[in-house]
Chain A
Amino acid sequence: MSQRFYSRRELLGRLGGGIAGLGFADLLARQGLLAASRSPLAPKAPQLEAKVKAMISIFCYGGVSQVDTFDPKPELGRRQGEAMTGVGEIRTVMGNPGGLMPSPWSFRKYGQCGMDISELFPHVAGHADDIALIRSMHAISPAHGPALFQMNTGSILAGHPSVGSWVTYGLGSENENLPGFIVFTDYRGGPINGAPNWSSGYMPAAYQGTPFRPAGDPIVDLQPPRSRGRDEQRKWLSLVERLNEKHLERNPADTELAARIHSYELAFRMQTHATDAIDIAKESAATRKLYGVDQQPTEYFGRQALMARRLVERGVRYVQIFSGGGNFEPSWDAHWDLKGNHDLHAAETDRPIAALIQDLKGRGLFDSTLIVWHGEFGRLPISERMDGRDHNAHGFSLWMAGGGVRGGTIVGSTDQYGYRAVENRKSVYDFHATILRLFGLDHEKLSYRFMGRDMRLTDVHGHVIDEVLTAQPA
């Protein structure tokens, strides 16, 4: 898809401004003129009234157990060790079903809404009245690969654009000096499937997620080699700019050539902006303490959560943070030792997530930001390998918070064991439709033409989950 980023008129106007002989600083000064041009990430108006401008997705990779976090089931304690009956055949991924296993954690009610949350998330629980909890989620596949793809792209198959790609495609980015869609992976490694989790699928590369490192240079290849200092770099860029501008004179109407010149200016600015965006040394001691960045076990996730806020503050459209990485032990995938596993991962994330909500509120950003928290599926109420839980796509919980979200809401429920969503069942398509709606995008109208078909994030499915919205859409 060769894209026309500039209209001819804009370009001619730009050239009228004169180019040859200007220094790089002068070129930068002309950015105001260029900002009006249509780069693939230039901001676009939403189709409907938008509630939020940005989103932070907290992805608990491996699958969080709903019955140990947000969906209490006393029945598991009353009937511990008994077979789970009355729910039909139980198919487990690992093929070793046990009896019902009680949660090792206790629950209590939080907030004015009286939401039941387990002791794994005491800090998040403090924001119960900000959270819209969906207890009746279900997904298609109980295998990590397809389920991750579904949660991130809508399809269980590879090759589709991720939610972040759809949102940046639909709305552009408010800060061209940073990528519009940024991904943080867990320090133990990223989720399986790898980069296709944040790929732009069949869309242009402009909409793919950019992995950010939370220390040093956030982006690979962001900085020049040490031998090339800032001044050297300016000289070098100036040479490239001048030669390219001269080349452009031959075909001044060529928007692609002009866009490529512009991309070097953006890259240069990104070097400082990206580094600055993750520089949490600039945060106050109180803020750092809030996120737990100077202590274990919250240090790593806390840093990422804080960086996410800094990025959103700077106009980044979509930030995704993965908690849990690699396979088996280091992720939420608690096939055994559920207690140790969820204790660890919850302790790493609970406080930073609560801090993020509080901090966004303090800065007046909460109402324009959407926070979502989920895994790719839930876990079974029965035991696996004696003290773990196997995958379960039939029922699980997730929550949303932020602008346009009705806090203190609980949507739907699972059966007596927390196995299967039974009441007011919500699909991943519904979840995605709701995210787009909060951004002011209509999931049935936001489409991208590929191979002769208008593709959608929600394919031919999906209904906005009105219950979690503060106001019914017009």
Chain B
Amino acid sequence: MTRRLAPWLLFAPVLYGDEDLARRAMDILTRNCLVCHGAARTSGLDLRTREGMIAGGSRGPAVVPVNPQRSLLYRFASHEDKPSMPPAPAAKLSDEDIEILREWILGGAELLGAGVAAPIGEAEKKAALARLEERPITDEERRFWAFQPPRRQPPPPVAGAASIRHPIDRFLRQAIEARKLKPAPPAGRRTLIRRAYLDLLGLPPAAEEVEAFVRDSAPDAWERLVEKLLASPHYGERWARHWLDLVRYADSGGFEFDVDRPDAFRYRDYVVNAFNTDKPYDSFLSEQLAGDEIAPGSNEAMIATGFLRLGPEGGGAGELGRQDALDDLLTTTSLTFLGLTVGCARCHNHKFDPIPQKDYYRMQAAFFSTRPVSHSLADPAAVAANKAENDRIDGFQQPVRKAKTDLEAPYHKRLIEDAVGRLPGYMQSAWRTPAGQRSEGQRLTVRQIERTLAAGELSKKLTEEQVVATMTREDKIRHRELIEQLSTLSRQRPAPLPTARAIGEFGRQARPSYFLHRGSSDARGSLMTPGVLSVISRREHPFPAPPEDARSSWRRRGLADWIASPENPLTSRVMANRIWQHHFGEGIVRTPSNFGKLGEPPSHPELLDWLALEFIDKGWSVKSMHRLMMTSRAYQASSDDIAFNLEIDPENRYLWRMPRQRLEAETIRDQILAVAGTLDRTAGGPCVFPYINPVLFQSSTRRTWPGKSDDDPSTWRRSLYVFSKRSIRYPMFETFDQPNLVNSCDRRNRSTIAPQALLMMNNNFLLVQARHFAARLRKEAGENPAARIERAFRLALGRAPREFERVQAAAYLAGSAEGLDGLALAMFNLNEFVHRQ
């Protein structure tokens, strides 16, 4: 989160204190200039003291305080004058560095103690800075529970109940009995099947499935049900959603232009398939971090690396933008896989956890060489053919473009002359002044006029339409012909080939990256080698050398190997806790992405350790964990309150009952579609755009939402497939606390507000689906109102209506004009409908 501190990098001086500025300026000089213009006094110049700067060298004063334009130091460093400094082959200073120097000279070029009163050598300076980079870890810090390996302990025996055999129950019972809580009785079959469906598939069971399960008296009925659901393709859709929250998945780039990412869905489908095929979690995470290095040539692995490109983009340019994007990636990676806020160590050592700033930059070094790659999913022959065809059309279009420009030129010139004639006098006189005699201001003015009116592309100030309007009739016709020729040719271009958003590098050699003091790219420290968290890894984690034919540095693979290792105390705990969280409402650690000091300690530490080790023992199989958790008594317990327990543990921390939970936005919508009988169960592929009232996104003139009508069945896909646009969010999801698509989200807010009720009562999607539900009831239950009511409850809630409900519903049907449509809508609005019990 400390990356919020860093934006000053872009326009740095604005937020600097004078001392800060002086120190930064001196850092820049130290790094770039003092080798020659320090003790060596090349050209007689010594930049180690202010006096030396002002006295200057053989070319004159290097610094004229308050006047950067007259300071040779600035003019040479900014390449406004030659010789450029530092001399080739050294690179030009970054824009930020140049800006800092300028600001500092402007402010008087005071050193304020940052300078070298008694000049010190380069080596000493380096050593001093390098010392700042070290932050040793104490043994005490290593002893923090989350950094210790999980301890293998057998589930404890339960004193009063020998029949309790399931290991999870034995761990839980111990805590329940210790607090004299009464464990809840088992839930009814109807509740259970609905719970299992909503948890594993995010969809309700069909009425017939409920009845079949209720009647199934075989002892393994529950186990078979769980297996059936785990084999459903909808299981991956449900659990992918949890994962996508963590990795802040979206189908657009965010910020001002919020550019769509039409290929992003391939990553989403990859996640769905990974859950459906029970891809071992260690492989799953490794592919996302380093798929290109682990399985070169595999389309699936390349698509997985799309993880590294999920963050928002377009917020900042240059070095700052790059550092911000890397920070976002590192923050998300550490929260998601490690449950730690490593991102907090960007500008300083972590304030609460033993995460040195150097760990941050060593981990960053693993990602530093990455570059975006558009990975072609087509075979090479098709790619070549596609390119050849595009080249051919380019060849045809080129002469037509030239003819068009030539045709416009004389008209354009005349318009420019007219426009200049309308400018204020001082601008016109600048225009008329011969080039050699123009003042600086006149030079700027003339260049501005030229660039405004005569830019290669017709500027907005002077549109193509205006130029065409002044043409003769013949030329207008000719102009139109040329435009038509161009567009005819464009239409012949082949359809683009399928690609995936993926990651690559520039070669085996990693790009150098550095420790950045205070998170600032102007304050480079040592060159960083890739590394991992030193609180966990006492010895240096070995990063593999890339093989001869590698196309990347293999640093991400090294990092992935460490995270995915069974030795890593965090990885298995964090994921086991997340699986638990989505079955039991809350994690054993209730801050699922923060296992650090500011996170909550585990409510059942022994159980968490046991689960983490089971997870590894079962080959990192997520489905095994579902089986394990769902076969416990705890999972199958009733969610009803027990008044006695409420006094002791009102928050149900010790899981004496199953928690009740408001469903997520997406599950509410999916359930509505399923119950209405309209759900299109097609899996995967490009996103859909359901209707959004344009009032809610007129705010985006450069952005579009090609929403289809609520009546359009093609939008009745599962919510996972609704396009996630960062600036235009689907209102139902937004209102029901869908995460903001920008930050990693480990646990959704669950607020209850009036706009949710308004939407559920009045939104057209709801009304349309209520009508479909009503039509379904008519079809399936016939004319009899009582039969319709019965069917409505069985479809929506998986149970028959109770007497009170029958009476109320019948009275409503008899006394209201909306009748069955109204009852159908009411079913969607019931607390029982939007809660998992």
Q: Which residues of B contact A251 (CB under 8 A)?
A: 640-641, 660
Asked if B817 and A145 make an inter-chain contact with CB atoms under 8 angstroms apart, the answer reads no
Instruction: List A residues 185-236 near B (Cβ within 8 Å).
Output: 185, 189-197, 199, 201-206, 208, 210-211, 213, 219-225, 227-229, 232-233, 235-236
- Select the stretch in B121-129, B438-446, B500-508 that faces chain A: B438-446
A252, A259, A385: which contacts B752 (Cβ < 8 A)?
A259
Given contacts A83-B440, A205-B753, contact A257 B700 (CB under 8 A): no
Tell me if B102 and A89 are in contact (CB < 8 A): yes
Binds B, one of A94-102, A107-115, A405-413: A94-102
Instruction: Specify which of A20, A138, A263 is in contact with B756 (CB 8 Å cutoff).
Output: A263
Instruction: Name the distance in Å between A94's Cβ and chain B's nearest Cβ.
Output: 9
A393 to B750 alpha-carbon distance, docked (Å)? 38
Tell me whether A384 is interfacial, beta carbon within 8 Å.
yes
Minimum C-beta distance from A150 to chain B (A): 8
Q: Answer whether A3 and B816 are a contact pair too, CB < 8 Å, given A83-B441, A83-B444.
A: no
Residues of B within 8 A of A146 (CB): 7, 255, 315-316
| Nearest neighbor of B697 in chain A, beta-carbon distance | A194
Given A194, A220, A261, A264, which contacts B699 in the complex, CB threshold below 8 Å?
A194
Contact at B646–A8, with CB atoms within 8 Å?
yes
Could you tell me which residues of chain A, from 227 to 277, have a CB within 8 Å of some CB in chain B? Answer: 227-229, 232-233, 235-237, 239-240, 242-244, 246-248, 250-254, 256-257, 259-264, 266-267, 270-271
For the complex formed, measure the closest distance between the CB of B758 and the CB atoms of chain A, giving whole angstroms. 5
Among B242-265, those with CB < 8 Å from A are 254-256, 258
Cα distance A16–B621 when bound, in Å? Answer: 50
The chain A residue with its CB closest to the CB of B3 is A157
Task: Check A140–B8 contact: CB distance below 8 A.
Answer: yes
Q: Which residues of chain A are within 8 angstroms of B452 by Cβ–Cβ distance?
A: 96, 336, 385-386
Number of interface residues of A (CB under 8 A): 120
Give the residues in chain B near A142, CB-CB below 8 Å: 11
Contact assessment for B696 and A211 in the assembled complex, using a CB-CB cutoff below 8 Å = yes
Residues of A within 8 A of B755 (CB): 179, 205, 210, 219, 221, 267
Give the residues in chain A near B447, CB-CB below 8 Å: 96
Tell whether, in the assembled complex, residue B832 and residue A256 are in contact, meaning their CB atoms are under 8 Å apart.
no
Give residues 739-768 of B contacting A (CB, 8 Å): 740, 742-744, 746-747, 749-759, 761-764, 767
Inter-subunit contact B728/A195 (CB<8 Å):
yes
Residues from chain B with a CB closer than 8 A to the CB of A227 are 817-818
Per-residue contact bits, chain B 621-661, to A (CB 8 Å; 1 contact, 0 not): 00000000000000000001101001000100000000010
**B10 interface contact, C-beta 8 A:** yes
- Say yes or no for A86: interface residue by CB 8 A criterion: yes
Give the docked Cα–Cα distance between A452 and B355 (Å): 14
- Complex CA–CA separation, A5 to B752 (angstroms): 9
The answer to whether A239 and B750 touch (CB under 8 A), given A156-B7, A232-B816, A250-B640, is: no
Known pairs A156-B316, A224-B762, A239-B808; A451 contacts B445 (CB<8 A): no
Query: B69 on the interface (CB 8 Å rule)?
Result: yes
Given contacts A158-B726, A194-B703, A393-B11, contact A3 B751 (CB under 8 A): yes
Determine whether A383 belongs to the interface, using a CB cutoff of 8 Å to chain B: yes
Q: Which A143-200 residues have a C-beta within 8 angstroms of B?
A: 143-146, 155-159, 176, 179, 185, 189-197, 199
Stretch at the interface among B297-305, B513-521, B545-553, B593-601: B593-601
Residues of B within 8 A of A80 (CB): 424, 426
Name the one of A89, A204, A325, A386 contacting B99, with C-beta atoms under 8 angstroms.
A89
B483: CB under 8 A from chain A? Answer: no
Given A89-B78, A236-B825, A251-B641, A189–B698 Cβ distance below 8 Å? yes
Is the C-beta of A141 less than 8 angstroms from some C-beta in chain B?
A: yes
Q: Does A471 contact B (CB under 8 A)?
A: no
Report chain B residues within 8 Å CB of A326.
701
Given A236-B822, A240-B829, A98:B444 Cβ within 8 A: yes
Establish whether residues B442 and A190, one from each chain, have CB atoms under 8 Å apart when the complex forms: no
Contact present for B441 and A460 (CB under 8 Å): no
Question: Is B451 positioned at the interface, with any CB of A under 8 Å from its CB?
Answer: yes
**Min C-beta distance of B196 to chain A, whole Å:** 21
Q: Which residue of B lies closest to A99 (CB)?
A: B441
Q: Is B316 a contact of A228 with CB atoms below 8 Å? A: no
Chain A residues near B258 (CB, 8 Å)?
A: 194
Q: How far is the CA of A261 from the CA of B3 in the complex (A)?
A: 41
Decide yes or no whether A85 CB sits under 8 A from chain B. Answer: yes
Q: Please tell me which stretch of B207-215, B227-235, B360-368, B730-738 contacts chain A, meaning at least 4 of its Cβ atoms lie within 8 angstroms of it.
A: B730-738
Which A-chain residue is minimally distant from B830 (CB atoms)?
A243
Chain B hits for A99, CB < 8 A: 430, 441-442, 444-445
Q: Provided the pairs A251-B641, A453-B341 are in contact, do residues A201 and B740 lie with their beta carbons within 8 angstroms?
A: yes
Asked if B50 CB lies within 8 Å of chain A CBs, one says no
Whole-angstrom CA separation of A208 from B740 in the bound complex:
11
Residues of B within 8 A of A285 (CB): none
Chain B residues near A237 (CB-CB < 8 A): 761
List residues of chain B with CB within 8 A of the CB of A385: 448, 452, 459, 461
Chain B residues with Cβ under 8 A from A138's Cβ? 14
Say whether B815 faces chain A, with CB atoms less than 8 Å apart.
yes
Find chain A residues with CB under 8 A from B816 CB.
232, 235-236
* B835: Cβ under 8 A from any A Cβ: yes
Please classify the interface of chain A as helix (H, G, I), strand (E, B), loop, or mixed, using the class held by over half of its residues.
loop
Q: Verify if A466 is at the interface (C-beta below 8 Å from B).
A: no
Instruction: Tell me if A243 and B753 are in contact (CB < 8 A).
Output: no
List chain A residues, Cβ under 8 A from B269.
Answer: none
The reply to whether the CB of B388 lies closer than 8 angstroms to some CB of chain A is no
Q: Render B338-367 as a binary contact track against A, CB cut-off 8 A, 1 for contact.
A: 000100100000001000000000000000
Q: Is B491 an interface residue when CB atoms closer than 8 A count as contact?
A: no
Q: Does A423 make an interface contact (CB < 8 A)?
A: no
A98 to B698, CA, bound (A): 34
From B254, B440, B699, B759, name the one whose CB has the most chain A CB atoms within 10 angstroms: B699
The answer, yes or no, to whether B695 is at the interface (CB within 8 Å) is yes
B682 interface contact, C-beta 8 A: no
Task: Give the distance in Å from the alpha carbon of A262 to the alpha carbon of B753 in the complex.
Answer: 9
Instruction: Flag whether A88 is at the interface (Cβ < 8 A).
Output: yes
A455 near B: Cβ within 8 Å? yes
**How far is the CB of A213 from the nearest CB of chain B, in Å?**
6
Question: In this complex, which of B596, B755, B817 has the most chain A Cβ atoms within 10 angstroms of its Cβ?
Answer: B755
Q: Knowing A158-B726, A189-B698 are in contact, say whether A224-B761 is a contact too (CB < 8 A).
A: yes
Known contacts being A85-B69, A158-B742, A228-B818, is A98 close to B804, with CB within 8 Å?
A: no
Chain A residues contacting B832 (CB-CB under 8 Å) are 247
Q: Which residues of B contact A248 (CB under 8 A)?
A: 831
Query: Is A341 among interface residues, defined by CB-CB distance under 8 A?
Result: no
- Given contacts A142-B11, A158-B312, A195-B727, A239 and B809 within 8 Å (CB-CB): yes
A residues near B461, Cβ cutoff 8 Å:
336, 385-386
Q: How far is the CB of B321 from chain A (nearest CB, A)?
A: 10
Which residues from chain A contact B84 at a C-beta distance below 8 Å? Answer: none
Are A220 and B696 interface neighbours, CB within 8 A?
A: yes
Asked if A205 and B106 make an inter-chain contact with CB atoms under 8 angstroms apart, the answer reads no
Judge whether B662 is part of the interface by a CB distance below 8 angstroms. Answer: yes
- The smallest C-beta distance from B749 to any residue of chain A, in angstroms, reads 4
Residues of A within 8 A of B812 (CB): 235-236, 239
B539 within 8 A of A: no
Q: Is residue A379 contacting chain B, with contact meaning CB distance below 8 A? A: no
How far apart are the CA atoms of A256 and B660 in the complex, in Å? 10
Which chain A residues border B441 with CB–CB below 8 Å? 81-83, 99-100
Interface centre among B594, B726, B757 (most CB of A within 10 A): B757
Question: What 1/0 mask marks residues of chain A from 446 to 474 whose CB sits below 8 Å from any chain B CB?
Answer: 00001111010001100000000000000
Indicate whether A2 reaches chain B with its CB closer than 8 angstroms: yes
Contact status A157-B728, CB under 8 Å: no
Pairs across A and B, CB under 8 Å, 20 listed: A2-B662, A5-B752, A88-B103, A89-B98, A141-B7, A159-B743, A191-B699, A194-B703, A195-B729, A196-B727, A227-B817, A239-B812, A243-B808, A244-B830, A254-B660, A257-B831, A260-B757, A267-B755, A327-B702, A382-B444
Given A82-B440, A157-B312, A236-B812, 7 additional A-B pairs, CB 8 A: A81-B427, A88-B103, A146-B316, A156-B315, A190-B698, A204-B737, A239-B808
